[in-house]
Amino acid sequence: MTALLINDVCAAAAAFAGVTALGKLVYDITGSKFDLGLLGLVEFAPAALLVLVTGAVADRYDRRIVAAIGSLGEVIVALLLAAHVGRHPDGIAVILGLVLVFGIARSFVAPASRALPVNVVAPEHLPWLIPRYSAMWQAALIVGPVIGGSTYAIDPRYPFYAMAVLALLAAISVMFVQVRPSPIVTPAEPRGGLHDALEGLRFIRKQPVLLGAISLDLFAVLFGGAVALLPAIATDRLHVGAVGFGWLRAAGGIGAGLTTIALARRPLKRHVGRVLLLVVAAFGVFTIVLGATTSYVVAFVAMAALSGADAVSVFIRATLVPLATPDDKRGRVGAVENVFIGASNELGAFESGVAGQALGTMGAVILGGVATIAIAGAWWRWFPALREVDAFPTRVEVDAG
């Protein structure tokens, strides 16, 4: 259990430190909101292109080894980024190339790591574990951006050295994770090839609760990806430097962390589906506040609040999805979910960058918040099976329809 939590916090802190530094670096070099979006698109592309491979690998091989190898790939990319930044680049082509390689490594880590918690504890104990697992991620959401922003202010290479160290610790700690017997189950009728690789997508399509929960995250955060524009918000609207930007991004971790602590003390047990839809709407409301304000304090509070709402959404989805998925399909379902999450975050960052370039920072963020509220309302109507989920299942329940 301890090794799993250490792996989670180190892996997430490495990613957040790197992403924070990369956003600041790219905006310092080009001053373009579109390039901030392009950065997210490049990071997302491997997860989408390799989805048929990464999930199958996570289901066929030891998930700990897959995650460790991917983390070592992240270490190499971080060191190459530090070396390149030390040459004071005046363009971003090489940076985007290295981010693409990072995305490839991350696309193997994500489905393997996402399937591990349910291999560590019995299904009925997963609602107890997920808030603690999420708390480590939220701690990383605070520590990672602070490390990225603060060390960038000293020397732009330092965040990537920190990223390398944290990713190395993640690779080591995941190998000490103790799993329950037979964590990887071979499918009863293995077909191999494309049919086997597509099983995760077919399974999600047949389960309305899974499809609703995962697609809700995709579309809501796709249009509410204000975090991608934080470098522009901090510089152009709030007039703060790298340290202020780092703390603004860390505000998300603070809000999400406090929410996760509350969930750990009093786990959500009833009205799961309705709460999920309501917190997504709240996410949209606070996104609008973030886009409209020119006050650093209000922006800080808005970031904390929208991230707190997102933390509840993450808790529900991270508990519900594995409990509704057989173990032999969790890697492939996790790979598809990773594409949906990547689309909502990184592809959402691209959408925000394009909208920010066309509409300005304030217009893009406010429009995204309005769209997120509309998505929550549409899913309330279109996915009644998700809306009516009351409690988390204690065993895998498959809808054959």
- Measured CA to CA, the distance from residue 342 to residue 239 in angstroms comes to 29
DSSP per-residue codes, 206-272:
H-HHHHHHHHHHHHHHHH--GGGGHHHIIIIIS---HHHHHHHHHHHHHHHHHHHHHHHHS---S-H
Contact 356, 32 (CB under 8 A): no
- Three-state SS at 20: helix
- Measured CA to CA, the distance from residue 55 to residue 184 in angstroms comes to 12
DSSP per-residue codes, 351-370:
HHHHHHHHH-HHHHHHHHHH
Alpha helices, DSSP H, located in 121-157: 126-154
Overall pTM > 0.85: no
Residue type, 253: G
* Phi and psi based region of residue 239 (left: phi greater than 0; alpha: psi -120 to 50; beta: remaining): left
- Measured CA to CA, the distance from residue 16 to residue 163 in angstroms comes to 9
- Measured CA to CA, the distance from residue 143 to residue 151 in angstroms comes to 12
pLDDT per residue as tens, the chain (401 positions): 788 889 989 998 999 899 889 988 998 999 888 888 788 788 878 877 887 788 888 888 898 999 999 999 999 999 999 999 999 998 999 999 999 999 999 889 988 887 788 788 776 777 777 777 777 877 887 788 889 988 999 999 999 999 999 999 999 999 999 887 754 444 444 444 556 657 777 888 888 888 898 888 777 766 766 677 888 888 888 989 888 888 888 888 789 888 888 887 887 888 999 999 999 999 999 999 998 999 999 999 999 999 899 889 888 887 888 777 887 777 778 777 766 665 556 666 666 677 777 778 888 888 889 999 999 999 999 999 999 988 887 655 545 44
The tokens for 163 are 């990223």
- Measured CA to CA, the distance from residue 279 to residue 124 in angstroms comes to 24
CA distances in angstroms from 204 to 158, 190, 221, 401, listed in the order given: 41, 18, 19, 11
Structural domains of the chain, ranges and CATH numbers in brackets: 2-178+197-387 (1.20.1250.20)
- Measured CA to CA, the distance from residue 291 to residue 356 in angstroms comes to 11
Indicate the DSSP class of residue 347.
Answer: I
Comparing C-alpha atoms, which of 111, 95, 106, 99 is closest to residue 41? 99
- Measured CA to CA, the distance from residue 312 to residue 308 in angstroms comes to 7
Report how far Cα 260 is from the mean position of its chain's Cα atoms.
15
Contact 175, 10 (CB under 8 A): no
